[in-house]
Chains A and B, each alone.
Chain A
Amino acid sequence: MPRNKNIKKVLLIGSGPIVIGQAAEFDYAGTQALTTLKKEGLEVVLVNSNPATIMTDSEMADRVYLEPLSADVLRKIIEIEKPDSILPTLGGQTGLNLAMELAESGFLAEHNVRLLGTNTLAIKKAEDREAFKETMEKINEPIVEGTIVTHVEEALDFAERVGYPVIVRPAYTLGGTGGGIADDAKQLKEICDGGLKASRVHQCLIEKCICGWKEIEFEAMRDSAGNCITICNMENVDPVGIHTGDSIVVAPVQTLRDKETQMLRSASLKIINELGIEGGCNVQFALHPENMSYAVIEVNPRVSRSSALASKATGYPIARVSTLVAIGYTLDEIKNAVTGSTYASFEPSVDYIICKFPRWPFDKFVSADRKLGTKMKATGEVMSIGDSFEAAFLKSMRSLELNVFSSEVNYFEKMTKKQLIDRLSVQDDQRIFCVFAALRAGITAEEVYDITKIDIWFLKKFETILRNEKKIQKEKLKCLDGDYMLHVKKLGFADKAIAEWCGVSEKEIRKMRIDMGITPVFNMVDTCAGEFQAYSDYYYSTYQTKTEVRKTDKKTIVVLGSGPIRIGQGVEFDYCSVHCVWALKKLGYDAVIINNNPETVSTDFDTSDRLYFEPLTNEEVLNILEVEKPEGVFVQFGGQTAIKLAKTVHENGYKILGTSFDDINNAEDREEFDALLTALDLARPKGKTVFTEQQALDAAEELTYPVLVRPSYVLGGQGMEICYNADDIQKYMSIINLNTQEHPILVDKYIMGKELEVDAICDGKNILMPGIMEHIERTGIHSGDSIAVYPAGLDDDVTQKIIETTKKLAFGTKTIGLINIQYILQGKDLYIIEVNPRSSRTVPYISKVTQIPMVQLAVRCSLGEDLASMGYGTGLHKASNYYAVKVPVFSNEKIPDLEISLSPEMKSTGEVLGLSKSYPEALLKGLLASGIRLKDGGAVLISVSDIYKQEIISTAQAFFDLGFELYATGGTAHVLNSNFIPTNVVGKLKDSGENIETLFATDKVCLVINTPTRGHDSTRDGFKIRRLAIERGITCMTAPDTANALAKALKLKKKDKDLNLVCLGDIKND
């Protein structure tokens, strides 16, 4: 069937900010959908609140709305834009839920808007637990024994009947939010209560626990004619019980016979047929490890994280094909873009193995609960491709950038066998290393299997890795003849690891290896295992015999990507990498990208001229540079990941485009940088460079407390903290010393003031500053966690000073391309906090608001063009007449025991933007988009530390005036009441009678304002109050500035439906 000609204008709903469970994969899917729809000549409207994405670029759709994702906003947009269709299945659970809400309310029918692709009934059958159960029973597909409950008591009854443990799965939530495994009635009560609250429809499924079964996934596709295929199957290394987003996953399945594979494949097809899916769909199974019984765990009737992974794993573009299917095409009409000769109605066959490894935030959230279960905790993931499991696994491990190059992680090495056996049963992010340590200690694979249920096949592969590690550790260089070197390289061993074991440098091993003639070749990901000629230019390294890289006559430039999404380095750097690639293509170069994040647009093989899906390590990057022999390499767009590689690129004789290696280094090196500031006569908070605890204490003494401590070479404020006393310093140094530090620790005087941020482009002669941003929260809170307002409201003389200083710094650091500077403004005094000679988190949003293609200009500067001739002027760009407020979004509810209070340590996972001609409205939009919605006439609980008690009076007054009922703990209540602000006193947690916990239980409280006392002691009241609020879904603010901003926005008295909506494309027309 060809395209449905009645479809002319399509609305696409994005997935909003990046949160745990919903990350960059929806930028990839959404971008593919938009490109596809536009190519088909359709008019496209996009709504998404996330400014850091490629999909929200104004060129990506005819009309782009960076607006809060709520049903009311969508209603309004539908009324304005009058689309005839909505594509609901490309925007994650957020997009799907909103579309369902609009459909179920009858609004879509009233406005003659149809839902494209999978219809509402099918979505309901897949997502609603009862409907799903009925459907599966109807077609005789086994499901896990379970029941749907809306009350905790029903759950308890069920568990009594089938026996513990049971699993709780809330309906309609992301990443399994609110679920868990309960071993007894007490746990069940707790988990079920949380799950019911997390569910949009107040439903939970309680299931008999089948932990330990194999977890198998199929990515399936069906079109309107009923053609069904499966694109990829995947096997979780971790069995059922750990969320698939937190599992190490391989594709294709490894431990299944053909009959088992086909049984599950047939079941997938039967299921998507019965549901009537039109587009991509994910089906998850549990397969008994000792017979052929299985159960259907879950069906996701939309593109998902797994479908992004499957697309990258096979080369089959699931989002693109889903989009085409949604507008009427059948699979046999859609060409396979990789081969150009075959069609989308085939199943990819791969001749390699892929391994996906989750990227958890526990390197930043050191005190958070690391246990893994049915709730996803990973912020991102890496994927790697190899032709052996060992190679794929080891490649993915080093792609995580955790400085792990072998299976050895020292914290398990000292444990006894007994300790290891006990530790094996703890399911957390470190268990895989514990498995290795256990096997290394001589615990058998069978014993490890009994505890972990990780299939023996994987354990035996781990043993292969260990055996060879041990051999090199013991025999060192002696054993490394050509044959053995080739053998271990085929197993994926890193030069760096081999070097460490042999006690020589990585360089020496590399040279030795190359002298032996052992270098990798690059094979193509072609969807068909070589059966057909392919044109995908999508490669991975392997130690085989024939390279397949297809180069052209054009000059080549390599762009280093940013790796997995993690706290502090999110999708914004992928945005910059993609724009760099696009700019290079436009300039006539062959743009090559190296990256390992399967969720992103940069790793879509359509984005660059050549894609290398590889770890971003010295070794792997050099291997590619040796093949590509590029004109130059860009390191300034891939975040700190790319910056870290600058040294290797430079030292091996490749040209770094833009700011040179030496100048990058000088900006990052504390002493060089201090010298520069002195030379330029610029001020910065006084600071010291230290290595030891004693040095740190001495430095703090000299600078006087409070001080800010952090490691050098940082991003996302890793390990950054304000220390108020010697205790804080000692505690900090003990944590930081857990990992080996190659670089020194910085101790700075903490200055309180207004934080300002600038991104600028420099060509060496001129600078262009698209705008100045102002942070709402005062210094001491990481810029990534602050609300940022563009344009900043500054006096002219201050503005002038910032322009001059920025110029000085850009020239002084010899920046060519992008530079990001953070300032503190104290009165009229300007201090420099940080200078980053690279792209930053704010580049995407400032590019969008100012309509200045910052990355493109930076690329052109780096290639020698003059800024002045680019048509965007120089100096500070004229401020827009729109305000753009960037509001951070947190995933606090996903990480139990995380200290949520804002600090120099970044915690947010994503961001949203509020756009408006009025500042309060822009602020309100940003806050609404970030998910903050206060119930009218609800209650606000205030509990602040002494230093804030005076300041909070006006905040409290504002909320009182807005009609909120006020509650406060003793001291705070006393201050407020004595200032004539009627405030109810509420007892602290430990108080009996009416206390904070009982108050929360009344569901009255919609906002908690609680400032942290020093230290992150999880036993303290404040910590508990904040966690309790998060777990009950109550907005919790820990900086008075944020609360004041909220009050200011609320004074508008506007609801979603009252907002003035802004189409991004209209900004420049104004």
Chain B
Amino acid sequence: MKAFLMLEDGTRFYGEPFGDVQNTVGEVVFSTSMTGYQEGLTDPSFYGQILVLTYPLIGNVGFNNFDYESHRISVKGLVVKELCEAPSNWATKGSLDEFMKKFNIVGLKGVDTRALTLKIREESVMRGMICLQEPTAEQIEELKSYKIEKPVHRVTVKEKKKYDGQKSGKNIAVMDFGVKENMIRELHKRGHNLTIYPATTAAEEILADNPDGILLSNGPGDPKDNDDIIANIKKLIGKKPIMGICMGHQLLALANGLDSYKLKYGHRGANQPVKDLNTGRVYISSQNHGYAICEPKGSKDIEVTFRNVNDGTVEGLKYKKHKSFSVQFHPEACPGPMDTQFLFDDFERLMEEDTNAQK
């Protein structure tokens, strides 16, 4: 069976469908991460997107019970060069094809993913549609007008959720914009008590629970789509120590009066170097974002803490007056390098300092 990915400019990339075979529309992005497709597929930040993997052999380890970053696949479609039909790893519970079927997501295999990647790199991220047959005029219209509407509101938890840690642990409020589970695991394994809040939870409600710190999670889409949440975050600023990651970083920046812009084709991969401007150390980070924060020009209270070594973009910010900091990249990794997990320790320290100051 043949199928193809049609980009909004009409370019087609042919392949064969797999998973839950159906038509689908999404924003086509590529990731250069060579491992961790299960983590990637279940990362809510990919919501509304058709993910192209540049590594050609996908599905080698099938899927398993350990590598979920949320309880479902977030992408609208997956495009690969070669799908592995006979996976092999001790943890494997089934093939990637079965995994995609389980979550009703379509994939396209046998595609020249390099040619596709180069196209996106040269011309920027664009809309695309996985088509099983010649698209109708309506489908083409759907493709051209496709927009990921308020994705954060769609992926966030519906109700507050608690994870109890140790007695000595901090109480941390996690604002779920599409949180990856490893953020929760990282904090939880440090003994903290976590409360996961829906993205639209009122600041007052969170503050009423009197957390020791607030984690603004990652999430999908354009940060500017979230006026309500930004307004809410403004009310949290300065009240409690805050750590922001990815979307959380962007929303915190917007709430602090900074601006954001769309990158040509984003940073998606497990090999992005970021430089800690305080120490000069470079770390390799896992990244997944299509938007970035503009330079905080003229603001003495906002310090750029990390920069991307490749293109110099802002990768981390510190709000000196507000006991808060944020990073664009993913210290929780999964997939990718664990080099910057120490940022969770930094967050711990920030909360500790704050608690001591309150005493």
Contact = CB atoms under 8 A, between A and B. Distances in A.
Interface stretch (A14-22, A455-463, A799-807): A455-463
Nearest to A348: B271
Interface string A754-796: 0000000000000000000000000000000000000000000
A531 B32 contact: yes
Contact of A229 (B33, B91, B117, B284): B284
Nearest to A290: B90
Contacts of A228: 339
Contact of A262 (B86, B269, B336): B336
Contacts of A460: 86, 88
B275 interface: yes
Contacts of B272: 346
Interface string A327-348: 0001110000000011101111
A749 B82 CA distance: 59
B284 A546 contact: no
Interface stretch (B51-59, B228-236, B254-262): B51-59
A332 B36 contact: no
Contact of A353 (B35, B56, B89, B91): B56
A120 interface: no
B337 interface: yes
Given A257-B61, A343-B309, A346-B272, A530 B82 contact: no
A258 B36 contact: yes
A546 B116 CA distance: 10
A257 B67 CA distance: 9
Interface string B33-55: 11110110000000000000011
Contacts, number: 162
Contacts of B284: 229, 346-347
B294 interface: no
A455 B36 CA distance: 19
A389 interface: yes
B28 to A, nearest CB: 14
Interface residues of B, number: 52
B310 A343 contact: yes
Nearest to A263: B338
Interface string B105-126: 0000000111101100100000
B309 A349 contact: no
Contacts of A265: 337
A225 B280 contact: yes
Contacts of A266: 337-339
B289 to A, nearest CB: 14
A529 B280 contact: no
Interface in B164-213: none
B273 interface: yes
A851 interface: no
A261 B114 CA distance: 24
A255 interface: yes
A252 B115 contact: no
Interface in A342-364: 342-343, 345-353
A460 to B, nearest CB: 4
Contact of B112 (A226, A261, A529, A546): A546
A766 to B, nearest CB: 51
B94 interface: no
Contact of A256 (B61, B64, B114, B334): B61
Nearest to A545: B112
Interface in B57-98: 57, 60-61, 64, 66-67, 81-82, 84, 86-91
A1069 interface: no
B56 A258 contact: no
B54 A349 contact: yes
Contact of A388 (B34, B82, B121, B275): B82
B87 A457 contact: yes
Contacts of A343: 273, 309-310
Nearest to B33: A349
Nearest to A547: B115
B252 interface: no
By Cβ-Cβ distance, the 8 closest A-B pairs, closest first, are: A258-B36, A457-B88, A460-B86, A529-B54, A347-B271, A546-B115, A258-B335, A258-B35
Interface of A: 225-229, 252-259, 261-262, 265-266, 269, 289-291, 330-332, 341-343, 345-353, 387-389, 455-457, 460, 523, 528-533, 544-546, 548
8 contacts: A255-B88, A265-B337, A332-B282, A350-B34, A457-B84, A531-B117, A544-B115, A545-B112
Given A349-B271, A351-B114, A388-B57, 6 more contacts: A229-B284, A266-B337, A341-B310, A346-B271, A387-B114, A545-B115
